């Protein structure tokens, strides 16, 4: 059995990590704090990343018209019926959640941190959206609670970053990770498989690059084309290839084999809403994708980090 597993998983799952760290069932509660993004407000661009929906990747975050405590409690009330002794992590998900004055950030973060049974915060943002004052505040916060900062990279291919309109380069990303880790702040990185015109080698090289950085977690997403996005327009005009489920499973299993075994896999597929989805439609069968990854790792008699160890 894989050393960071007590199930059939051959990779280091977030559920396993939480269970062993907190000795409890832990749920991340997605929140929409109403932040903007420099890729939307004109500071860098007004287009956004080409795959971003109107919610700014916050499809499962709360209703922005509700205050944060109300958003949080709506989710908590549902969970409490089944798991009454659960603990929670407030997940600031939609758009760039460090992109505001420090006084605003403090008010929003601490409104959640002060709630009962909240054991930490997870803050999703861009690598170019953290000021020096914010870095220092996050360091203070990390000493008080379990804090994770989630940083979007998506790919280390600079041509891809330009195509998807990220408006930052890999050097900016690397610098951000180093600044966070200098302050002992936990980092989770987001990457996307299947970006337009990328090869399997590109996707493998992205995880190999991350092995050279001090990160604690990784989210692997499959590119999905959402209605009314620039990506949908590109797909209709250029018809770039979308990965099949089998291709995605094969790539993810290869990536897992290259990723260091102490990096927690926070996510291993996307979870789109079917009403918004153009392609690939197989993504809506989330558990089928997860089971296929498990079966392929078992078929290979493989596990997370096996190739990294051989190359180290």
Give the residue extent of every domain in the chain: 14-311
HEC profile of 53-104: CCCCCCCCCCCCCCCHHHHHHHHHHHHHHHCCCCEEEEEECCCCCCCCCHHH
Strands 225-226, 277-279: pairing is antiparallel
Nearest-angstrom CA–CA distance, 239 and 237: 6
- Is pTM beyond 0.85? Reply is yes
Query: What pLDDT does residue 198 have?
Result: 97
102-113 vs 132-142: helix axis angle to the nearest 10?
20
pLDDT at 253: 98
pLDDT at residue 312, rounded to an integer? 63
pLDDT tens-digit series, residues 79-129: 988 888 899 999 999 899 999 999 999 999 999 999 999 999 999 999 999
Residue 58 has pLDDT above 60, yes or no: no
Q: Which two tokens stand for residue 103?
A: 């006084």
For 14-311, CATH gives 3.20.20.70
Look at strands 217-222 and 225-226 and give their pairing.
unpaired
Q: Give the residue from 102, 157, 94 showing the smallest Cα distance to 135.
A: 102
User: The tokens of 142 are what?
Assistant: 């990390």
**pLDDT greater at residue 118 or residue 56:** 118
């Amino acid at each position: 059995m894989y050393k960071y597993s007590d199930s059939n998983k051959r990779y280091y799952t977030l559920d396993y990590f939480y269970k062993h760290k907190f000795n409890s069932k832990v749920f991340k509660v997605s929140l929409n704090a109403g932040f903007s993004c420099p890729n939307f407000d004109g500071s860098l661009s007004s287009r956004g990343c080409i795959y971003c929906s109107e919610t700014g990747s916050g499809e499962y975050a709360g209703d922005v018209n509700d205050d944060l405590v109300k958003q949080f409690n709506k989710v908590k009330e549902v969970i409490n019926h089944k798991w009454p002794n659960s603990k929670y992590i407030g997940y600031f998900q939609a758009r760039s959640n460090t992109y505001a004055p420090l006084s605003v950030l403090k008010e929003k973060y601490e409104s959640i941190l002060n709630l009962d049974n909240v054991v930490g915060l997870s803050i999703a943002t861009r690598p170019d959206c953290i000021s020096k004052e914010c870095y220092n505040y996050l360091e203070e916060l990390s000493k008080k609670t379990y804090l994770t900062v989630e940083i979007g990279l998506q790919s280390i291919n600079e041509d891809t970053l330009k195509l998807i309109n990220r408006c930052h380069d890999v050097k900016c990303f690397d610098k951000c990770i180093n600044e966070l880790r200098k302050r002992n702040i936990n980092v989770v990185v987001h990457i996307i498989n299947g970006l337009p015109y990328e090869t399997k080698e590109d996707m493998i090289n992205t995880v190999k690059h991350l092995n050279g950085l001090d990160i604690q977690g990784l989210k692997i997403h499959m590119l999905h084309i959402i209605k009314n996005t620039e990506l949908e327009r590109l797909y209709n005009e250029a018809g770039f290839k979308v990965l099949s489920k089998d291709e995605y499973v094969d790539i993810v299993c290869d990536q897992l084999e290259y990723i260091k075994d102490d990096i927690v896999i926070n996510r291993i597929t996307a979870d789109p809403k079917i009403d918004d989805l153009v392609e690939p439609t197989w993504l809506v069968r989330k558990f089928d994708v997860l089971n296929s990854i498990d079966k392929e790792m078992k078929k290979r008699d493989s596990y997370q980090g096996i190739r990294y160890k051989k190359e180290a």
